[in-house]
C-alpha cells in the first residue's frame, strides 16, 4: 500500500512541476521523446562497444542483436521497488532526481534542431545553458544529503566535484567556440 501511494505521490508531484514550470508536454513531446530514446539507445551502443573491447558478448538476448535492451532496461526500472532509507528526508529524497531530470531537459530547450525548430530562442542562450547545467549539481548534493548517511553524502560530493570539473572544461571550450565564431 505504501509503494502505491509513493508512486501516486511521484505522479502528482511530476504533474505539479510540469504545470508550475509551464512546460506544454504535448507540444514538446516530439522533441523530448527522441532525446530520451536516443540516450537509451546510445547507452546500449556503449555497452556493446565496451563488451567487444573486453571480449564479452554484451547485450544480445533481448531482440535482434540486443536492440530492445533499452526498452527492457526501462521496464525493469519502472517495475523495481522504490527504496527509501528510514532516516531520510522523504520529500527531498524524492524531489532531487526529479529536479535533476527537469534541469537536464531545460538545457535541451536551447539546442536548435533545424533552422526554425527550437523550443526557446534566447539572446543569452549560452549563459542560460551554463546557469542551468550548473544547477544540476544541486540535485546530486541534495540526494546525498537527504539520505542522512555520511557515505551517501560523501559520494554525492565526489560526484558533484566530478560534474563541476567536466563543466569547467566544457564551458571553456564553448566560450572559445563562441568567440571564434564571432571573429
How far separated are the first and last CA of the chain, in Å rounded? 62
Report the distance separating Cα 137 and Cα 133, nearest Å. Answer: 8
| Residue 84 phi, psi (nearest 5) | -125, 120
- pLDDT bin (cut points 50, 70, 90) of residue 89 is confident
Q: What's the rounded mean pLDDT across residues 51-59?
A: 78
**What per-residue confidence (pLDDT) applies to 25?**
58
| Residue 26 phi, psi (nearest 5) | -65, -40
Report the distance separating Cα 13 and Cα 93, nearest Å. Answer: 13
Using DSSP, state whether 126 is helix, strand or coil.
helix
Report the distance separating Cα 13 and Cα 6, nearest Å. Answer: 10
pLDDT at 108 over 90: no
pLDDT at 20 over 60: no
Q: What's the rounded mean pLDDT across residues 138-150?
A: 88
pLDDT at 158 over 90: yes
Q: What's the rounded mean pLDDT across residues 94-113?
A: 79
- Of 13-17, 88-92, 98-102, 117-121, give the lowest mean pLDDT range: 13-17
Amino acid at each position: 500500500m505504501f509503494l502505491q501511494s509513493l508512486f501516486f505521490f511521484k505522479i502528482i508531484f511530476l504533474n505539479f512541476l510540469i504545470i508550475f514550470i509551464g512546460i506544454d508536454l504535448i507540444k514538446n513531446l516530439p522533441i523530448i521523446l527522441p532525446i530520451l530514446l536516443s540516450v537509451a539507445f546510445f547507452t546500449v551502443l556503449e555497452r556493446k562497444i565496451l563488451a567487444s573491447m573486453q571480449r564479452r558478448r554484451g547485450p544480445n538476448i533481448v531482440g535482434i542483436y540486443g536492440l530492445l535492451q533499452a526498452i527492457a532496461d526501462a521496464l525493469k526500472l519502472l517495475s523495481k521497488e522504490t527504496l527509501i532509507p528510514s532516516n531520510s528526508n522523504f520529500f527531498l529524497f524524492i524531489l532531487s532526481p526529479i529536479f535533476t531530470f527537469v534541469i537536464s531537459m531545460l538545457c535541451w530547450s536551447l539546442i536548435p534542431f533545424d533552422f526554425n525548430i527550437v523550443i526557446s530562442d534566447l539572446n543569452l542562450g549560452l549563459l542560460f545553458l551554463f546557469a542551468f547545467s550548473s544547477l544540476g549539481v544541486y540535485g546530486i548534493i541534495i540526494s546525498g544529503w537527504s539520505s542522512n548517511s555520511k557515505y551517501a553524502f560523501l559520494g554525492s560530493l565526489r560526484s558533484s566535484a566530478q560534474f563541476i570539473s567536466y563543466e569547467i572544461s566544457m564551458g571553456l571550450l564553448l566560450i572559445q567556440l563562441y568567440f571564434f565564431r564571432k571573429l
